[in-house]
């Protein structure tokens, strides 16, 4: 596992080279401007599954308007971490603060009602439902007419139209027919549905667990562009990815997860992808900041 | 299923041809068989409807009396109770569950209705409503076992099957109550009503309205969507922010209400409330759902398929009798249909993108 990641990291050094330059401005602004405002903070998160330790006391901070990358080898606890943050799992210990207030999400619905949208690694789409139904799953619109008032009739046409608009806004062109069932879509198209859903409804922050894993080059670039757009709108994003060029081109800071713990948080402006991979695999250690 | 089997030969040959083209490096094209698979996938009630239509035509060809209005009226009356229970069973099977106790629950509800009215001299409406509450209670019990105690539906309802069956016998002390002893409202479902050329009972109309209502709930409301989502992929539904436990519980409780309605229809149809009524109803309702194309794995199907499924069973019973075939062939036909339906479902599930 680790060799594939680091060997993947080396040839990628070239494309990442220009990235720090563009990020310097953002990094510099963050350093010189007003102090960062934390949107989401986690302290000392512990999560065990029987004898398996998923998280062994992890801290994480996400600031307003920032894209935080999370990298780490398979099984390092990335998904467990964001599941604890979004209510899909409940941490055994530790606390979570959303905009300074302590929260404990008992379900994904709980976190969603607090404005947190998540694309889970498993995508959480319902295969038998169509694209529009999946986009609006759990927050379906009822039609405005008398049937809606009296019999709670769904506004299927309205939701379909809005889903189509949302796809267009995100530049997703591979999905045309909003009444197509998700089980007939390719893996990448399903991922696009999940990302579009999160982008459409996230109001406080968006969590993306490997959103580009199944996407083609063009579609991946669209997701990265979407993340940049969210940052321009000051909406913070947590991005989990194994793709170092992606992480180092869009993220303001990168949280490195290793063996269930945080091995360090680095800035792409000052740390190269190779160094981050070395920390991730344990070849190098970061002195605590 | 016979219609599918008939087409199986020639279509199979075509797809074999396509396979060889593929081996030679040709591009993959949708064969007619693929198209059949895809349309069955998109419309789960289509297969059962075709089977119903074809078998009806065949039985009509064997004996012209099969489609005479008296026989159709009779079949519609015969199907009413199982079709009503089938609605509740469909909802539960859509969530990838199963209810083995649904018939026993109906008997218990109907015994309550009958005894309260006939022996305890309750007014008809309170007796009817209390019977429905008993039905909802049995559903809520199953729902609690499944959602709160995480007992697999098969086991939970196997347990409640025994409990409810014995409760019915204890409560009624094995006695049958005749409909003539009950107030008019309770056996209103058995009153004759003439619709066009057909002589039906009110219960048939009640069941028909039930189908329209539940079909609306399933296809046009938020709750219906969530039922499908929960049955399709429970964890995905939870992660997408659906209250999966609440949805599951509501399905069992609502099926309980349908049990109450089925009990009312059953009193009217049989003209009595007996603990030995409809003892096969548990399995017959499952048979109707499965033949009706609703997948035992959840998330796919609908109530109209179940209506066709229930009708298919009655059509075979009546048709084989009219064709002078030994009665014992009827259960054999039913068994073949069930197995074929599940086989077709497995095949449909492998549909390609
Ligand atoms: N539900 C579970 N039950 C038992 N163990 C689990 C469970 N979920 C995660 N784990 C364990 O926790 C550890 C962290 O898993 P996690 O899914 O968070 O890894 P990850 O960093 O997301 O990996 P990947 O890059 O493969 O997605 C692994 O050892 C895994 O086996
Ligand atoms: Mg993961």
Q: How far is B159 from chain A (nearest CA, A)?
A: 31
Assess if residue A197 is contained within a domain.
yes
Task: Give the CATH number, domain containing residue A73.
Answer: 3.40.50.300
Partner-chain contact A129 B229, CB within 8 Å:
yes
Q: What digits encode the pLDDT tens for the residues A99-137? A: 999 999 999 999 999 999 999 999 899 999 999 999 999
Please say if the pLDDT value at position A19 is more than 50: no
Q: What digits encode the pLDDT tens for the residues B156-166? A: 999 999 999 99
CB B124 within 8 A of CB B182: yes
Please say if the pLDDT value at position B44 is more than 70: yes
Q: Looking at the CA of A52, which ligand is closest?
A: 1
Q: Is the CB of A76 under 6 A from ligand 1?
A: yes
Q: Which of A77, A210, A214, A258 to mutate to test the pocket of ligand 1 (most atoms within 8 A of CB)?
A: A77
Assess if residue A21 is contained within a domain.
no
Place of tokens 């083609």: A216
| Rounded Cα–Cα distance for residues B318 and B194 (Å) | 21
The CA A124 to ligand 1 mean position distance, Å, reads 17
The pLDDT value recorded for residue A202 is: 87
Please state the rounded mean pLDDT for residues B318-324.
91
More confident residue, B20 or A254: A254
Q: Place B294 in a pLDDT band, splitting at 50, 70 and 90.
A: very high
Assess if residue A32 is contained within a domain.
no
Number of C-beta neighbours around residue B172 at 10 A: 22
The CA A121 to ligand 2 mean position distance, Å, reads 6
Buried b (16+ CB within 10 A) or exposed e, A92-107: eebebebeeeebebeb
Share of chain B above pLDDT 90, in %: 71
Q: Place A230 in a pLDDT band, splitting at 50, 70 and 90.
A: confident
Chain A segment 55-94 residues within 8 A of B by beta carbon are: 88
Q: Place B181 in a pLDDT band, splitting at 50, 70 and 90.
A: confident
| Gyration radius from chain B CA atoms | 22
| Rounded Cα–Cα distance for residues A269 and A26 (Å) | 9
Residues of B in contact with A139 (CB under 8 A): 241
User: Residue A126 is nearest to which of B42, B216, B232, comparing CB atoms?
Assistant: B232
| CA separation, residue B180 to residues A190, B174, B311 (Å) | 60, 18, 29
The pLDDT value recorded for residue A156 is: 93
Assess if residue A162 is contained within a domain.
yes
The pLDDT value recorded for residue A145 is: 85
Residues of B in contact with A141 (CB under 8 A): none
Positive or negative, the CA dihedral A73, A77, A79, A82 is: negative
Residue A90 structural domain = 40-281
Both tokens of residue A146? Answer: 């008398």
Please say if the pLDDT value at position B341 is more than 90: no
Please state whether beta strands A116-119 and A205-209 pair in parallel, antiparallel, or not at all (unpaired): parallel
If you take atom 18 of ligand 1, which residue's CA is the nearest one?
A77
Please say if the pLDDT value at position B263 is more than 80: yes
Assess if residue A137 is contained within a domain.
yes
Q: Is the CB of A49 under 6 A from ligand 1?
A: yes
CB B37 within 8 A of CB B351: yes
The pLDDT value recorded for residue A32 is: 54
Please say if the pLDDT value at position A30 is more than 90: no
Q: What is the DSSP letter of B226?
A: H
Q: Place B29 in a pLDDT band, splitting at 50, 70 and 90.
A: low
Please say if the pLDDT value at position B223 is more than 60: yes
Mean residue pLDDT of chain A comes to 85
- What residues of B are in the A interface, CB distance below 8 Å? 42, 216, 220-222, 225-226, 228-229, 232-233, 235-243, 299-300, 351, 353
The pLDDT value recorded for residue A216 is: 85
Please say if the pLDDT value at position B4 is more than 90: no
Q: What digits encode the pLDDT tens for the residues B70-79? A: 999 999 999 9
Please state the rounded mean pLDDT for residues A180-187.
89
Q: Place B82 in a pLDDT band, splitting at 50, 70 and 90.
A: very high
* Segments making up each domain of chain B, as ranges: 1-42, 45-352
Residues of B in contact with A124 (CB under 8 A): 235-237, 239-240
Q: Place B188 in a pLDDT band, splitting at 50, 70 and 90.
A: very high
Please say if the pLDDT value at position A289 is more than 50: no
The pLDDT value recorded for residue A247 is: 95
Answer yes or no: CATH 3.60.21 is held by domain B45-352: no
The pLDDT value recorded for residue A42 is: 96
Q: Which long-range contacts (CB under 8 A, 24 or more apart) does A265-269 make?
A: A265/A289, A267/A27, A268/A16, A268/A19, A268/A20, A268/A23, A268/A27, A269/A20, A269/A23, A269/A24, A269/A26, A269/A27, A269/A28
| CA separation, residue A282 to residues A241, B5, B111, B352 (Å) | 18, 62, 72, 43
Q: Is the CB of A278 under 6 A from ligand 1?
A: no
Mean residue pLDDT of chain B comes to 88
Mean pLDDT lowest for which of A72-86, A217-231, B128-142? A217-231
Q: What digits encode the pLDDT tens for the residues B268-284? A: 999 999 988 777 899 99
Partner-chain contact A124 B232, CB within 8 Å:
no
Please say if the pLDDT value at position B65 is more than 90: yes
If you take atom 22 of ligand 1, which residue's CA is the nearest one?
A79
User: Residue A126 is nearest to which of B216, B220, B236, comparing CB atoms?
Assistant: B236
Closest CA to A10 of A286, A279, A273, A285: A273
> Which site among B213, B236, B238 would you substitute to test the A interface, given the most A Cβ atoms closer than 10 Å to its Cβ?
B236
Q: What digits encode the pLDDT tens for the residues B224-241? A: 999 999 999 999 999 999
Please say if the pLDDT value at position A206 is more than 50: yes
| Rounded Cα–Cα distance for residues A121 and A123 (Å) | 5
Please say if the pLDDT value at position A17 is more than 50: no
Closest CA to B14 of B29, B31, B28, B30: B31
Assess if residue A4 is contained within a domain.
no
CB A260 within 8 A of CB A74: no
CB pairs A-B closer than 8 Å: 80
The pLDDT value recorded for residue B347 is: 84
Which is the closest atom of ligand 1 to the Cα of A257?
21
Share of chain A above pLDDT 90, in %: 62
The CA A145 to ligand 2 mean position distance, Å, reads 44
Please say if the pLDDT value at position B19 is more than 50: no
Please say if the pLDDT value at position A246 is more than 90: yes
Q: How far is B80 from chain A (nearest CA, A)?
A: 26
What's the domain count of chain A?
Answer: 1
Please say if the pLDDT value at position B40 is more than 70: yes
Place of tokens 């016979």: B2
Q: Is the CB of A122 under 6 A from ligand 1?
A: no
Please state the rounded mean pLDDT for residues A238-244.
96
Chain A segment 132-151 residues within 8 A of B by beta carbon are: 133-134, 137-140, 142, 151
CB A115 within 8 A of CB A206: no
Convert chain A into a string of H (helix), E (strand) and C (coil).
Answer: CHHHHHHHHCCCHHHHCHHHHHHHHHHHHHHHCCCCCEEEEEEEEEEEECCEEEEEEEEEEEECCCEEEEECCCCCCHHHHHHHHHCCCCCCEEEEEECCEEECCCCHHHHHHCCEEEECCCCCCCCCCEHHHHHCCCCCCECCCHHHHHHCCECHHHHHHHHHHHHHHCCCCCCCCCCCEHHHCCHHHHHHHHHHHHHHHCCCEEEEECCCCCCCHHHHHHHHHHHHHHHHCCCCEEEECCCHHHHHHHCCEEEEEECCEEEEEECCCCCCHHHHHHHHHCCCCCCCC
Both tokens of residue B54? Answer: 């074809």
| Gyration radius from chain A CA atoms | 19
Q: Is the CB of A243 under 6 A from ligand 1?
A: no
Please state whether beta strands A205-209 and A237-240 pair in parallel, antiparallel, or not at all (unpaired): parallel
């Amino acid at each position: 596992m680790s060799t594939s990641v680091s060997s993947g990291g080396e040839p990628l050094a070239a494309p990442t080279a220009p990235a720090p330059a563009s990020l310097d401005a953002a990094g510099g602004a963050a350093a010189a401007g007003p102090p960062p405002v934390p949107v989401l903070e986690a302290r000392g998160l512990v999560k065990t599954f029987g004898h398996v330790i998923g998280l062994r006391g992890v801290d994480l901070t996400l600031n307003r308007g920032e894209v935080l990358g999370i990298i780490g080898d398979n099984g390092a606890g990335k998904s467990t971490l964001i599941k604890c943050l979004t209510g899909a799992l409940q941490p055994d210990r530790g606390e979570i603060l959303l905009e300074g207030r302590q929260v404990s999400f008992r379900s994904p619905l709980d976190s969603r009602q607090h404005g947190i949208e998540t694309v889970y690694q498993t995508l959480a789409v319902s295969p038998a439902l169509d694209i529009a139904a999946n986009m609006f799953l759990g927050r379906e619109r009822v039609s405005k007419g008398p049937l809606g008032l009296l019999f709670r009739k769904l506004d299927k046409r309205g939701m379909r139209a809005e889903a189509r608009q949302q796809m267009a806004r995100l530049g997703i062109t591979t999905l045309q027919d909003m009444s197509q069932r998700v089980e007939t879509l390719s893996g990448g198209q399903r991922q696009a549905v999940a990302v579009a859903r999160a982008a459409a409804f996230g109001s406080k922050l968006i969590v993306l667990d490997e959103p580009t894993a199944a996407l083609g080059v063009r579609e991946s670039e669209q997701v990265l562009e979407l993340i940049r757009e969210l940052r321009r709108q000051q909406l913070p994003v947590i991005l989990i990815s194994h793709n170092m060029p992606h992480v180092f081109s869009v993220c303001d800071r990168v949280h490195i997860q290793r063996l269930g713990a945080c091995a360090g948080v680095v800035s792409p402006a000052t740390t190269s992808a190779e160094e981050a991979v070395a920390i991730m695999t344990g070849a190098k250690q970061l002195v605590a900041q | 299923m016979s219609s599918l089997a008939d087409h199986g030969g020639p279509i199979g040959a075509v797809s074999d041809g396509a396979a060889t083209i593929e081996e030679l490096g040709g591009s993959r094209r949708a064969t007619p068989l693929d198209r059949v698979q895809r349309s069955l996938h998109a419309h789960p009630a289509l297969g059962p409807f075709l089977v119903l239509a074809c078998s009806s035509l065949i039985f009509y060809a064997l004996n012209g009396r099969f489609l005479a209005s008296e026989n159709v009226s009779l079949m519609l009356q015969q199907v009413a109770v199982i079709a009503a229970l089938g609605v509740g069973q469909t909802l539960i099977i859509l969530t990838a569950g199963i209810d083995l106790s649904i018939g026993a629950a109906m008997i218990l509800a109907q015994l309550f209705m009958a005894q309260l009215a006939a022996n305890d001299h309750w007014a008809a409406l309170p007796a009817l409503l209390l019977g429905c509450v008993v039905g909802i209670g049995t559903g809520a019990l199953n729902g609690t076992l499944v959602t709160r105690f995480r007992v697999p539906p098969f086991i939970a309802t196997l347990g409640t099957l025994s409990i409810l069956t014995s409760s019915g016998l204890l409560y009624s002390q094995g006695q049958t109550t005749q409909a003539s002893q009950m107030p008019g409202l309770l056996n209103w479902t058995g009153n004759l009503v003439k619709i066009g050329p057909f002589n039906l009972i009110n219960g048939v109309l009640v069941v028909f309205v039930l189908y329209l209502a539940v079909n609306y709930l399933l296809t046009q409301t938020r709750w219906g969507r969530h039922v499908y989502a929960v049955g399709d992929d429970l964890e995905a539904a939870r992660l997408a922010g659906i209250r999966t436990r609440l949805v599951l519980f509501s399905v069992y409780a609502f099926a309980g209400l349908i049990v109450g309605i089925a009990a009312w229809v059953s009193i009217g149809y049989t003209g009595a409330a007996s603990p030995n009524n409809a003892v096969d109803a548990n399995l017959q309702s499952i048979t109707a759902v499965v033949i009706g194309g609703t997948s035992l794995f959840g998330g796919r199907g609908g109530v109209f398929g179940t209506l066709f499924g229930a009708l298919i069973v009655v059509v075979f019973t009546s048709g084989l009798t009219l064709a002078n075939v030994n009665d014992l062939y009827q259960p054999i036909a039913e068994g073949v249909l069930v197995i074929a339906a599940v086989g077709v479902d497995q095949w449909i599930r492998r549909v390609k993108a």
